[in-house]
Structure 1
Amino acid sequence: MWIGWLEFDLLLGDVHSLKEKRSVIRPVLAELRRKFTISAAETGALDLHRRAGIGIAVVAADRAHVVDVLDAAERLVAARPEFELLSAKRRLRHSDDD
């Protein structure tokens, strides 16, 4: 079993409150979940209105599938015009790894 995850650090554009931030982040999370059947959540900078952290995870039997899904998810997030992708940290693990 292969497990892969990405952590995105985002800078939001014209957002002035946490409520506005949530209205930008929620649709992205929903799209990631729907398109790729992955787990996705807001994971960082919860108290800052212009920054956001998003984490996604995928589990599959095949390493190549995990990499393909993570690549596609990263492209989707990077292409969104309402924020800037500052960084993306990626990790892959096999269930036999110690």
Structure 2
Amino acid sequence: MIIGACSIELHIFEVHSLKEKRHVIKSILGRLQSRFNISVAEVDKFDVWQSSVIGIACVSNEATHVRSMISSVMNFVDADGRVEITNHEIEIL
């Protein structure tokens, strides 16, 4: 069993409150979960309204599939015009 974990630090554009931030993050998390069937959650920077860290995890029997899945998730998040990826860390176990 191969486990892939990734934390993605985001800068969120055009939000002026925590309520607006939560709306954007909740939308991204829901779309990621339904499209890629992965575990995903906001894991840090809960009280900072223009930044967030989301964590994703996926499990497979092949490391190439895990790497491909994480790459696809990163591309999907990067294509969202509401946020910018400022940092990410990937760990394959």
TM over 0.5: yes
- After the TM superposition, list the runs of 4 or more consecutive aligned residues in structure 1 that deviate by more than 6 angstroms: none
Residue 5 (structure 1) aligned with residue 9 (structure 2): no
Distance 2:5 2:35 in 1: 16
Task: Indicate the SS of the match to 2:14.
Answer: coil
Task: Indicate the SS of the match to 2:48.
Answer: coil
Q: Under a length normalisation based on structure 1, what TM-score does the superposition of the two structures give?
A: 0.92
Aligned to 2:92: 92
Distance 2:89 2:47 in 1: 21
Counterpart amino acid of residue 49 in structure 1: W
Distance 2:68 2:24 in 1: 25
Q: List gaps (5 residues or longer) in structure 1.
A: 94-98
Aligned to 1:57: 57
Q: RMSD of aligned C-alpha atoms?
A: 0.7
What is the CA-CA distance between 1:84 and the residue it aligns to?
1.1
What is the CA-CA distance between 1:88 and the residue it aligns to?
1.2
Distance 2:80 2:88 in 1: 14
Q: List gaps (5 residues or longer) in structure 2.
A: none
